[in-house]
């Protein structure tokens, strides 16, 4: 009704604004009868104020004069209803986000208006009020700066004693809704970027500083969950576990980037607070697990998960202090055990080798703790000696050199081997790693020739998965390129053995149900493999280490279907392409960006020339000449027994079996009612007890192969598609046998074409010429 009285007045005029405010001021009780009117009044006020801030300064003067913010606080108190609360928070968020003038922002933040709204006793249980509340807090945080921040904190002398915007937001830090978690983190970063010395002292002191330990503790719990998924022994397939692993790993990475953003603010106390919790709660448990100084418990990680955690931390968070700390802890046991060896040598021959190692260790400790003050170091360890940190007793053992990171580098487990190598690569190639530590890694911990031999042995192991092949190839590529090495005789023999195995594995696929897809798969995988091999260290996701561990476990849930055969063919192509590209690297040859296969010219003797050309291009429903087609019968589950004609036809690398019904009016023509690919027929068999019956297995799985995409093996359908089966009944055994032979002949012609197309690539000197 109040709107109808003022239709003749411009709703964005000062007069209209004063009327609406007076209407709101006149409301003493909010109940069902006037609730909607109160909401309309608040909406009108916010819209008018937002307009006036940009176009009419007089409106905002009235806004201040009438103390509208105080009216909003009053309505919030008398409303006592979540709908009023949610609406008010929503409108205030809109208003704060859209006002531009510093005067308007300053007024809204003054007189504890914002703090009173924040501190209001909302009831969040079971309702949808929380998103509105957090959106309001985030809107406020987006407008604070060093001048307005003082309006939102309470100070006693030189100390901040209260900061409701920040402290109330932290209560939602672990809320179940991702949107709310994201808003809280955005708010906290807004606060960190404008805080002054007094505020930082408040934020990094208990109890608010517990936020950082809680954050890292939550991160640790997520990492323990990753470890549980990796080592789970349940009925879920490896692919299902990998998908679950990827989703959880994304959450871990999100947390790490948030921690990096906090450190990037550049405030010493804030960075120290984050880093100390990271080292104490996450980095040290992972490193101690790697150094085999702790038994695995429910709150610790396995070796492969520890390697992933440390690698991801270095990759995302990084920084001089963290990089050198990790490198120092990893190197210390090796250097300390070398010191023991040198001391024993000194006792025998009077040399002073131990003095040299003592200097190494002293320098190592100096580098590691260069970015930590004594207080920060003691907070982590209680002592500032690196030996006390990693446990000197571990260095007295003769097996110390075989433990720690070297124990994984030369492990028989490919996953641990590649995971540990990746961690060392990150350290050795990181610009923040101290030169001394980087040289120690490259010269002592990583004897390059031995590493190459270890990688080649993995490639030559036919039992490892294709994912292991790919990752091993990536490491071999990096080692050979970095060192400019040539393979010795023994190493060359290892590679040649591995190459020959991959070639034989691919050749076996010519007898499989997917040989017609091999050429296109080769082209696509060539581009994909080249891209993967050339991926830089700092861009490689270390999650591959956990995926490798899961893929080592065999999946017995898949029967021998065409979908499984498809993946088997793709894996064989991947392995061969990888070896072919590594071969080009080893023999110092350029690798083309795209693979060009031999172009085959179809001879006039090919079957498609001798038959009507409409067979090769026939689709479902097409009319084609019956010609030499065989007459037979087939039973369909939904159409009963039908009289049909069958004819196999191949053209180049494509081939199909056509099922046709006789045309009702044109006696020499047939209508195609079904088509099956020749390669997928899987050796048509004649039943012994019924020699007129021919059994065919039909390739139902459709990979939806797209030659324009490099990831052709990414399947669009389930890997558990059941293959179809046809049984054809012929008039006599002779006709049945003739049909079988013709299907086999056409399939053989199709296979021969593909083999000729790939013959040059499968030669011993492929790519060398």
In this prediction the pTM is: 0.82
Half-sphere exposure of 168 (CA within 13 A, CB side): 25
Please enumerate in sequence order all residues whose Cβ is within 8 A of that of 532, keeping only pairs 6 or more positions apart, or say none: 470, 474
Write the DSSP assignment of 570-584 as a string of letters.
Answer: HHHHHHHHHHHHHHH
Whole-angstrom Cα distance, residue 750 to residue 653? Answer: 5
710-768 pLDDT per residue, tens: 344 444 444 445 678 889 999 999 999 999 999 999 999 999 999 998 988 887 665 54
Give the residue among 713, 756, 449 at the shortest CA–CA distance from 577.
713
Say if residues 255 and 222 touch (Cβ distance below 8 Å): yes
For the chain, residues with pLDDT lower than 50 are 1-2, 6, 294, 342-343, 345-354, 374-377, 381-384, 392-401, 602, 604-613, 706-720, 768-769
Instruction: Identify the pLDDT of residue 40.
Output: 92
Q: What angle do CA 197, 198, 199 make, to 5 degrees?
A: 95
Other beta carbons within 10 Å of 754: 22
Instruction: Identify the pLDDT of residue 714.
Output: 42
Please enumerate in sequence order all residues whose Cβ is within 8 A of that of 126, keeping only pairs 6 or more positions apart, or say none: none
Half-sphere exposure of 643 (CA within 13 A, CB side): 6
Give the residue among 692, 695, 686 at the shortest CA–CA distance from 734.
692
Whole-angstrom Cα distance, residue 237 to residue 276? Answer: 39
What number of helices (H) and strands (E) belong to the chain? 32, 10
What Å distances lie between residue 223 and 88, 214, 390, 656, CA to CA? 40, 14, 22, 51
495-554 pLDDT per residue, tens: 999 999 999 999 999 999 999 999 999 999 998 999 999 899 888 999 999 998 888 766
Whole-angstrom Cα distance, residue 8 to residue 5? Answer: 8
Please enumerate in sequence order all residues whose Cβ is within 8 A of that of 94, keeping only pairs 6 or more positions apart, or say none: 46, 50, 139
């Amino acid at each position: 009704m109040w709107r109808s009285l003022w239709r003749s007045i411009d709703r964005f005029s000062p007069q209209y604004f004063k009327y609406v405010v007076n209407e709101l001021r006149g409301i003493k009780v909010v109940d069902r009868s006037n609730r909607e009117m109160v909401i309309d009044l608040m909406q009108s006020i916010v819209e008018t104020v937002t307009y006036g801030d940009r176009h009419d300064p007089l409106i905002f003067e009235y806004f201040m004069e009438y103390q509208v913010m105080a009216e909003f606080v009053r309505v919030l108190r008398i409303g006592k209803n979540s709908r009023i609360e949610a609406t008010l928070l929503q409108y205030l968020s809109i208003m704060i986000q859209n006002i531009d003038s510093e005067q308007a922002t300053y007024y809204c933040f003054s007189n504890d208006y914002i703090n009173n709204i924040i501190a209001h006793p909302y009831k969040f249980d079971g309702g949808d009020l929380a998103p509105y509340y957090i959106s309001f807090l985030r809107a406020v945080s987006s407008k604070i700066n060093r001048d307005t921040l003082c309006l939102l904190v309470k100070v006693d002398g030189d100390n901040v004693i209260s900061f409701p915007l920040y402290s109330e937001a932290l209560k939602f830090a672990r809320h179940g809704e991702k949107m709310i978690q994201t808003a809280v983190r955005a708010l906290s970063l807004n606060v960190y970027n404008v805080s002054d010395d007094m505020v930082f002292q408040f934020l990094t002191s208990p109890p608010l500083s517990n936020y950082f330990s809680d954050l890292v503790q939550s991160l640790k719990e997520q990492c323990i969950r990753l470890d549980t998924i990796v080592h789970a022994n349940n009925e879920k397939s490896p692919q299902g576990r990998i998908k679950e692993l990827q989703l959880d790993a994304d959450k871990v990475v999100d947390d790490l980037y948030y921690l990096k953003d906090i450190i990037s603010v550049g405030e010493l106390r804030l960075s120290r607070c984050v880093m100390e919790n990271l080292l104490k709660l996450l980095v040290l448990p992972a490193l101690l697990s790697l150094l085999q100084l702790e038994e695995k418990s429910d709150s610790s990680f396995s070796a492969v998960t520890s390697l992933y955690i440390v690698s991801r931390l270095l990759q995302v968070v990084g920084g001089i202090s963290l990089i050198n700390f990790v490198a120092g802890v990893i190197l210390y046991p090796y250097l300390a055990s070398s010191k023991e060896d040198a001391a024993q040598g000194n006792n025998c021959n009077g040399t002073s080798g131990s003095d040299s190692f003592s200097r190494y260790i002293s320098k190592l400790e100096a580098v590691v703790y260069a970015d930590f003050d004594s207080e920060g170091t003691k907070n982590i360890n209680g002592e500032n000696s690196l030996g006390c940190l990693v446990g000197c007793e571990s260095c007295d053992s003769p097996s110390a050199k075989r433990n720690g990171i070297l124990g994984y580098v030369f492990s028989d487990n490919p996953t641990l081997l590649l995971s540990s190598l990746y961690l060392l690569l990150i350290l050795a190639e990181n610009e923040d790693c101290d030169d001394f530590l980087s040289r120690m890694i490259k010269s002592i911990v990583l004897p390059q020739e031995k590493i190459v031999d270890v990688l080649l042995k993995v490639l030559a192991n036919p039992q490892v998965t294709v994912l292991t092949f790919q990752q091993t190839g990536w490491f071999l590529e990096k080692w050979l390129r970095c060192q400019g090495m040539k393979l010795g005789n023994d190493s060359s023999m290892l590679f040649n053995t591995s190459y020959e195995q991959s070639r034989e594995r691919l050749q076996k696929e010519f007898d499989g149900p997917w040989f017609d897809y091999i050429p296109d798969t080769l082209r696509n995988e060539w581009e994909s493999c080249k891209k993967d091999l050339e991926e830089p260290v700092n861009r490689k996701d270390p999650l591959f280490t956990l995926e490798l561990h899961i893929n080592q476990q065999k999946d017995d849930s898949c029967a021998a279907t065409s979908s499984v055969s498809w993946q088997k063919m793709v894996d064989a192509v991947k392995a061969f392409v990888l070896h072919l590209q590594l071969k080009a690297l080893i023999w110092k040859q350029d690798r083309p960006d795209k693979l060009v296969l031999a172009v085959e010219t179809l001879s006039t003797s090919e079957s498609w020339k001798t038959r009507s050309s409409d067979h090769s291009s026939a689709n479902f429903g097409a009319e084609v000449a019956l010609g030499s087609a065989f007459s037979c019968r087939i039973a369909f589950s939904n159409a009963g027994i039908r009289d049909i004609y069958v004819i196999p036809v191949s053209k180049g690398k494509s081939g199909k079996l056509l099922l046709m019904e006789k045309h009702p009016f044109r006696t020499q023509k047939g209508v195609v009612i079904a088509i099956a690919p020749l390669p997928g027929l899987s050796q048509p068999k004649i039943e012994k007890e019924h020699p007129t019956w021919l059994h065919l297995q039909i390739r139902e799985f459709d990979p939806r192969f797209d030659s324009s995409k490099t990831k052709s093996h990414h399947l669009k359908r389930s890997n558990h598609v059941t293959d179809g089966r046809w049984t054809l009944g012929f008039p006599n055994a002779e006709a049945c046998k003739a049909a079988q032979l013709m299907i086999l002949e056409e399939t053989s012609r199709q296979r021969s074409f593909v083999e000729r197309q790939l013959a040059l690539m499968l030669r011993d000197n492929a790519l060398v010429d």
